[in-house]
Amino acid sequence: MKASSTVVITSTSVFTALTIVLTFANTEVPFPLLPYLKFDLAEIPVLMLLFLMGPVPALASEVVGWIALSVARGWVLGPTMKFLAVAPMILGYWIGVGAFRRLFHEGKLGPAFIFGTVVGALVRIAVTSIMNIVTLLLIAPDFLKFAGSMLQLIGLASTSTQVVLMWTILLTALFNALQAFISAVPAAIAVRGAAFRIPWVAQNAWILGHHK
């Protein structure tokens, strides 16, 4: 059964509003190895929307959040880097869950969730790694100097620009892998709980293969 346009639009609006509220509430926890990277709980509603309604509403929600954050904070780089982490992860879920269904012809939440999360995390890491190289070398090289000072605090060698860049990209990849799972697990638990209690969710959730 496919969700109606009204339900999709309403759900997208609600989860987008929740994402924006959490973003401006600063629900973030610094990554100890590179404290300027912060685990963001505002990604959880986006993934809940993905699991329920699919990639298109989730991407629409992320676009709105990117615009709101850019306007509110008066700069584009930070919100754009966040967008270029979450949007590829959503696309990765679309690829991963779709591949799982074609391979195994199942709509079970657990296996589809694991497959989608792994692919989503890998796509996220690939895109953010490329964008970080471009940003640190060309757009904002001062951030690379700052990253080098952070690496020294945790005892990692920063003897050259290449070494600093290597460690920064590796630790950022680790951060993005952790963020993908930190965002996905609570979202999946919430959707699973809703599926047990609300028949509509069990019959319509995208992650369960009921609509595209």
For the segment 182-191, what is each residue's pLDDT rounded down to a tens digit? 999 999 999 8
The string of DSSP codes covering 113-144 is HHHHHHHHHHHHHHHHHHHHHHIIIII-HHHH
Mean pLDDT of 16-45: 91
List the single range of 111-115, 157-161, 194-198 with lowest mean pLDDT. Answer: 157-161
Return the CATH number of 5-208, one of 1.20.120.1200, 1.10.8.60, 3.20.20.150, 1.10.1760.20: 1.10.1760.20
Q: Where do the structural domains in the chain lie, given as residue ranges?
A: 5-208
In this prediction, residue 145 carries a pLDDT of 87
Other C-beta atoms within 10 Å of 80: how many?
Answer: 15
In this prediction, residue 45 carries a pLDDT of 95
Compute the residue count for the chain.
212
